Every structure is written in C-alpha cells, then in structure tokens.
Amino acid sequence: MSGIGTGYDLSTSTFSPDGRVFQTDYAQKAVDNSGTVVGIVCNDGVVLGVEKPIVSKMLVEGSNRRAYAVDRHAGVAVAGVAADGRQIVNRAVQEAVSYKNLYGDAIPGRVLADRLASYVHLFSLYWYSRPYGTASLLAVYDDDGPQLYLIEPSGAGHRFFGTAVGKGRQAAKTEIERLKLHEISCEQGINEVAKILHSVHDEEKPFEMELAWICEASGREFKRVPAELAAAAERQAKAALADSDMED
Amino acid sequence: MLPVPTSHSPALGPGCAGPSLAYASASTRSDIAPPSAQQPCCGSEPFMVDPSAAAGLGLRRHTDTPYVTGTSVLGITYKDGVMLAADTLGSYGSTKRYKSFERLAKVNDATVLGAGGELSDFQYIQTLLDELATEDYCADDGMQLTPREVYAYLSRVLYNRRNKFDPLWNSLVVGGLEGGVPFLGTVGMIGVHYTDKHIATGFGQMLARPLFRERHRPDMSEEEATELLHDALRVCYYRDKQTTNKFQIAKVTAEGVSVSEAFALETQWGYQAFVNPAANALGTW
Amino acid sequence: MAYQMATPAHSAHGAPRAHPSWSPYDNNGGTCVAVAGQDYCVVAASTRMSTGFSILKRDSSLFLQLSDQLVIVTAGFQADSRTLHKTLQTRYVQYQFAHRRPMSVGAMAQLLGNTLYYKRFFPYYTFNLCAGLDAEGKGAVYTYDAVGSHERVGFSCQGSGKDLIQPVLDNQLKAASPLVLPPEEWMTSLPLAEAVDLVKDAFVSAGERDIYTGDAVEILIITKEGTRKEVIPLKKD
C-alpha cells in the first residue's frame, strides 16, 4: 500500500493519484484476514460454508453465526467484520420485505444482490462514513434457479458459480475450480465444501464449520444444513484430509 | 432505493401501513356538514370527539363501510386440536362477487386464521402475519408465534385501528395448538376479543352457536367434530343468504395445519311447500 | 347513558344510512360490587360477556388482581377494559421497581383516575371499582365514572346491574349520608360472612332481571391474610 502516510487513505471521498480509494482497500483487507467463506452453485441449489475460528475455549458452540436467512428463498454468509455483517443482513431482510410488500412476490436474486451492492456502495461515497469491512455471499433460489452472488466492501457485486473469500480464498478457489459443479448435487456439495474448508484451514487452531444451503432437499428454503448431515460431511472431510496426508 | 417501512413498523404502531396514513386523504367528502366536536361524523353519538374534527383537519374516510365481505366463521375445539369452518364467498353487497375466496389461512405450523368482514382488510392482515412469520423464519431460532400470541397481536392491531377511527372491518377467529392444548379465540373490528371452547362470528353467532352449545364437547372425535361443523354450516347455508354451499374446514392437530379442499354439503329442498308453493292457497278461479 | 351502543340506523346528521356503519364502542355488560368492612373488603363481579342480545362468553372475568390486597374490577366495553388493565398492570409493576414497595389502594385509585381522565376526549367506556385494604387495614372502595372522577365510599356497584343493586346496598348497609355533619362513620359494621351473603343475594336478584348479569359471579374476599375467591353459579338464561 504505497498510499499509507500520504494522506490519500484518510477518507473514502479522496482518490489516490493512481485511482484507488484506500479506505475500501483496507476494508477488503479486513475481509481477507477473516475465516474462509465458500459458496458453490450445484445442479440443484447453492451451498455456503463458513470457517469460524474458535476464539475461546469458553465459547458456547454455535455462537457468532455467520450465515443467515434473509427471506425464505435467500440467505447470506458474511466474511470480515461480524458486526458490519449484521447490518448487511438486516438490510437484506428489509429489502426482501419491502419488495414483497410492493410487488407481492419474493425478491429475485439479481435484484437483491443489486440492492445490497448499492447499499454497501453508499458507505464508500462520503467522508463521514467508513465502508463495511464485510464481504457477503448471497445464495438465492428463485424462478431463475439457484444463484450465488458476492458483494464486496467496495460495493461491487458479482455472480459466481463458485467462489471463496477470507484467509484461505486462493486455495479454496483453486479447489472449487476442480469441481464439476453442474454434475454434483448439494448433498455432494456439502461434502466438497467441508473438504475445502478443512484443507485450507491452518491446522494449529480449532475451528467450527457452519454449513447452510438452499436446494430441493431443504424445500427450496434457505436453511442450515441439518446437524447429522453437517457432522457426516465433517467426518468425511477429516477422513479425506487424513488420507491425503498419508499420501504426502 | 430506500425500503418502505415494514407494515408493523414499531414507530407507527401495528396495523399502520406507512406515514401516508397520517395525512388526510384525497377522498375527503364535501357533501356533508363538516364535523364538530359535538357531532362527530364517525357514526357514534356525541359523547366522544372525533379526532379529525378536533385536529381541525378535513374528514378522513378510509374503510368507512365494507365493500367485499365474507360472512360467518365457525370454530370448535375437539380431542386432537381445533377446527375452523367457513364458506368461500366474497359478497359485494348482495352480489356473489367472488365464489372461491379462501377465508381460512394458515399462519404457521400451529395456527390458522379465519376471517369474515372486509376481505381486503383480511388480505392486509395476512401480509402482516406473513411478515412476522418470515421474521421468525430468518431469526432461525426454532421459535414461532404461538396461537395465543397471534390472537393477542391481532387484538392489539384491530383495537389500535379502531382508535384511529380507521378500523380493519373484520371478525377474526384464531385457532391452534399450544403445548398440546387447543386454543380458540376471536377478535372483532373494535377490538373485543375472547377465547372459548366454541366460537362463531356474524350470523353464525345466532345460527351455529346454539348447535355448538347443545352438542359440543371438548373430547369430541374428529368425525364427531366434522359432523357438528357440517350441520352448523348447513344451517348457515339455509338461513344466511350470504352463505354459499362451498365450504372449507381447517384443522390444527399435532400433525400440523391443514386447510381442506372446498366441498359442498348435501342439502334438502324437496319440501312440499317448495314443490308446490300454492298447495295451501287454492284460490277462487 | 345518553348515547347508544348499537349501530345507529341514522348518521349523526340525520340522513338515513344505506350501508353498514360502525361505532367505536360496544357495551359488553357485566356487574360488579364492592363492600368495604372494618377489616375486609368483598369484591364481586358477574362473568357473562354479552353484545346486544347475544351472549359471547359465560366465564369471562372482570377482575384485574394486582396483589392479594388490591384489585380493580371493570364493567363496560371489553376491549377498553382489557387495554386499561394492561396499562395499569404495567404501571403497577413499574411503580414497584421505582419505589420498592407495593402500591397502596389510594395510589392505585389515583392512578386509575388519572388514566381514565387522560382519555377524557375519547374515553375508555369502562366503569370501575378499585378495592382493597388501606394502610390501616380497613376496607377501601373507590368508585369511578368513565372519565375518571372518583370517590372513596363504603360500598359501590357498577355496570349493567347497578340500578338494581345499588339501592339495595344503600338500604342494607345503612350508610350514613355524606351530607350529615359532623361526618359519621360510613363504613359498614356488618360482619364479613353477612356481607358475602348480601353480595350473593344481590347478584342472584340482579341475575333475575338484568339480561347482562348471569352465568356466574366471582367473589374475592380480601382480608389481611390475603385474598380468597369463591365462584357462585347464576342462572344461565
């Protein structure tokens, strides 16, 4: 970051001479340091997976949720600053309710992604606000089928077949690219996501995995993956990891 | 881009759709004398002051009269839970305007709602409850509104709207199962609410409730309960001209909520006086 | 009452109404009685809830029991009554947080008066009694009108059966007129058991003639030991 100390990083309302907004770059850094969040679109739905570092042995299991339903047909997993993530989730809920109020139908994925991106973008426009240090993976199942979107702190929004953010994103993305996404179902998808999260994880520290999906098996509703399935996926991921370690 | 406030906005109070309601509407009528504090035009007698008159505003008229209405809703508790029954007619005055309007609606896995009165208001109430249900879904903590909570919520919504002199013109019946115990309650358009083992709104209060008082037991089997409702509905069909022979029955049991397909009841019109109305008037020619 | 509860057939301006109209009020009936004794208070209320000529419910309680020494009982419009009870229940709890002691009957009596008067220009259509034991352990009864004016009395009756019961109470409890000077003791010296019997008789008689009083009467007997409740069935016709 060549801009540090040059005065171009103090506000989102100032560009650096080479065309960057440093505050949004820093916000992106907050995301990059976070636990890995993975999303893949399978042939029958979307799977989201979150790697949650366990910050204390005294932490109650299941605390600090990172994947939230925002309507029956849509959910968000957030990486980065958790508190900022709550704001984005709340906004997504409001947008979904307001769309339903106005048009009497569930909000389409691209509209929700667009509105969330615009909302996040607002915070990089004024000197008095700081951008959200959060990237959101948005999983939707609407009339156009299952979709996955990524909304970055800058306000950029993209649609993906599969992507990852956070610490292990590079390795995770490489792994995702190896998958034949249109050939696997979400039941297989959760195993793949679990494997990826375990393989990119720095082994020293304990972590909890949060899996959520929206697919036929969940009744096309965004739900946490049932505990038995999630546990099975985790066992299978650990076994696969142990196998590959043996080969090494 | 900015979201419309949710319909049950805490700032505006439940049942208030948005800030626009705070202003006088364009449908202000000029053909009647302006209200005074002593002669409110809300239909009530001089005891109270019409707030719109007191505020020096023009007269607001929202639902001053219902347009498309549904008639009675019946409800009984029985051994396994509760059953609600209603016909599917939406009347426009004396016109049968909508013949397949479903007046029984699932609220969540343990609650059903039946409505008579203004059907647009009922649909609005459904959106309120849908929002609350979605809120519960998103919270994802396994909690949902209990039937008693839905009933308490609706009683406050309807009472608050009557306080605004802008009532939701409905008689509602809430049925459900709460910890294995049947719940049955009703809320009227001005906020009067009560629970009982059997309930009927509108004409049903006169036609169906006497049958319930005679034959209802809380430990009735599903067959007995269904038969009692069928008999009550049949009486309503015979004697209430706003009832059609197309009914639905909703059921809440431990298995969850189900709303039946519409069905018709067997009726008997072959009485002598029907076949030959002139039998007792021979005439002179 | 000068104004009618039922849907008026004519608008306030005299033109005939061709469509349904509504009134923000209803009278759901019910009668309540309270008698203050030297060391007790008897409070009773019928349990029928009606509208027009219909009975809505036969076991509806008119009481707001705030503690075992303090009770409010309300007849009139049920929706207003429930709203009033909710408000008062909340205020009662808040008072205890703020003052670390239970509310006295006198304090609740004043609060109820203020709460009713707050809605002076869109009143709660409710007729209340506030009853309990005062600081000296004597029975206390406060009687109200719909907009909050109130008075402490030795006994009172409110609601649909008041025209039938109040004169009987006046006669049987032999209260000295408040107009007699110097003021005389106005609280009855009747023993508790006899007061309870009088109240029962009063309700049985009112139930005979008043269609809004019937089904059952709940009687709360408040003494320094606490509150005891009796339920006496009445005619269901």
Q: What is the mean pLDDT of residues B148-154?
A: 98
Architecture of domain B73-259: 4-Layer Sandwich (3.60)
Of the candidates A54, A37, A219, A123, the one whose C-alpha atom is nearest the C-alpha of residue B137 is A219
pLDDT range class, residue B264, cuts 50, 70, 90: very high
Cβ of C22 within 8 Å of Cβ of B47? The answer is: no
Considering only CB atoms, A72 lies closest to which of B6, B7, B137, namely B137
Q: Which of the following is catalytic: B6, B63, B146, B253?
A: B63
Is any Cβ of chain B less than 8 angstroms from the Cβ of A94? Answer: yes
Sort B253 into a burial class: Cβ within 10 Å, 0-12 / 13-18 / 19+: middle
Long-range contacts of B272-281 (CB under 8 A, 24+ apart): none
**pLDDT score, position B17:** 41
| Residue A60 in tokens | 């109650």
Q: What is the mean pLDDT of residues B140-165?
A: 96
pLDDT 10s digits, A5-64: 678 999 999 999 999 999 999 999 999 999 999 999 999 999 999 999 998 999 999 999
Domains belonging to chain C, first-starting first, are 34-233 (3.60.20.10)
**Is residue B260 scored above 60 in pLDDT?**
yes
**pLDDT score, position B57:** 53
C226 Ramachandran zone, left/alpha/beta (phi>0; psi -120 to 50) = left
Which residues in chain B belong to E strands, given as ranges?
A: 68-70, 73-78, 81-87, 90-92, 95-98, 104-108, 111-118, 170-178, 181-187, 193-195, 198-200, 247-253, 256-259
The C-alpha angle with vertex C146 and arms to C143 and C147, in degrees rounded to 5, equals: 105
Phi, psi (deg, nearest 5) at residue A79: -120, 145
Q: Do chains A and B touch (3 or more CB pairs under 8 A)?
A: yes
**pLDDT score, position C190:** 92
pLDDT range class, residue B63, cuts 50, 70, 90: low
Please state the separation of Cα B50 from the chain's center in Å.
26
**Is residue B259 scored above 80 in pLDDT?**
yes
Interface of B with C (CB under 8 A): 32-33, 39-49, 51, 54, 64-66, 155, 159, 162-163, 165, 167, 169, 188-196, 205-206
Is any Cβ of chain B less than 8 angstroms from the Cβ of A97? Answer: yes
Instruction: Count chain B–chain C contacts defined by CB atoms under 8 A.
Output: 97
Cβ of C24 within 8 Å of Cβ of B42? The answer is: yes
Sort A62 into a burial class: Cβ within 10 Å, 0-12 / 13-18 / 19+: exposed
Domains belonging to chain A, first-starting first, are 22-54+66-243 (3.60.20.10)
Cβ of C24 within 8 Å of Cβ of B46? The answer is: no
Considering only CB atoms, B127 lies closest to which of A94, A101, A115, namely A101
Q: How far apart are CA A96 and CA A107, in angstroms?
A: 6
**pLDDT score, position B52:** 54
Cβ of B32 within 8 Å of Cβ of C13? The answer is: yes
Is any Cβ of chain B less than 8 angstroms from the Cβ of C96? Answer: no
Q: Do chains A and C touch (3 or more CB pairs under 8 A)?
A: no
Of the candidates A65, A67, A68, A73, the one whose C-alpha atom is nearest the C-alpha of residue A97 is A73
Q: What is the mean pLDDT of residues B52-77?
A: 76
Cβ of B6 within 8 Å of Cβ of A94? The answer is: yes
Residues of chain A neighbouring B11 (CB-CB closer than 8 A) = none
For residue C5, how many C-alpha atoms fall within 13 Å in the half-sphere facing its CB?
15
pLDDT 10s digits, A143-153: 999 999 999 99
The average confidence (pLDDT) of chain B is 84
**pLDDT score, position B18:** 38
**pLDDT score, position A5:** 67
Is any Cβ of chain B less than 8 angstroms from the Cβ of A33? Answer: no
**pLDDT score, position C15:** 55
pLDDT range class, residue B8, cuts 50, 70, 90: low
pLDDT range class, residue A81, cuts 50, 70, 90: very high
**Is residue B223 scored above 60 in pLDDT?**
yes
What percentage of chain B reaches a pLDDT higher than 90?
Answer: 70
Of the candidates A188, A166, A162, the one whose C-alpha atom is nearest the C-alpha of residue A175 is A162
Considering only CB atoms, B44 lies closest to which of C17, C23, C82, namely C23
Which among C25, C122, C237 is the top mutation candidate for probing chain B, defined by the most B β-carbons within 10 Å of its own β-carbon? C122
- How high is the mean pLDDT in each 10-residue block of chain C (237 residues)? 45 58 94 97 98 96 97 98 98 97 97 97 97 96 97 96 96 80 83 96 97 98 97 96
**Is residue B1 scored above 90 in pLDDT?**
no
| Residue B143 in tokens | 């909690």
| Residue C212 in tokens | 């809004």
pLDDT range class, residue B31, cuts 50, 70, 90: very low
Residue B285 CB contacts under 8 Å (≥ 6 apart), including other chains: none
Q: How far apart are CA B285 and CA C222, in angstroms?
A: 80
The average confidence (pLDDT) of chain A is 94
Q: Do chains C and B touch (3 or more CB pairs under 8 A)?
A: yes
Distance from CA of B97 to the nearest CA of C (A): 17
Task: Compute and round to an integer the Cα radius of gyration of chain A.
Answer: 18
Is B243 a catalytic site residue? no
Q: What is the mean pLDDT of residues A114-133?
A: 96
> Domain segments of chain B: what residues?
73-259
pLDDT 10s digits, A163-189: 999 999 999 999 999 999 999 999 999
pLDDT 10s digits, B160-182: 999 999 999 999 999 999 999 99
Considering only CB atoms, C11 lies closest to which of B41, B66, B165, namely B41
Written as one letter, the residue type at B184 is L
Considering only CB atoms, B40 lies closest to which of C12, C22, C80, namely C12
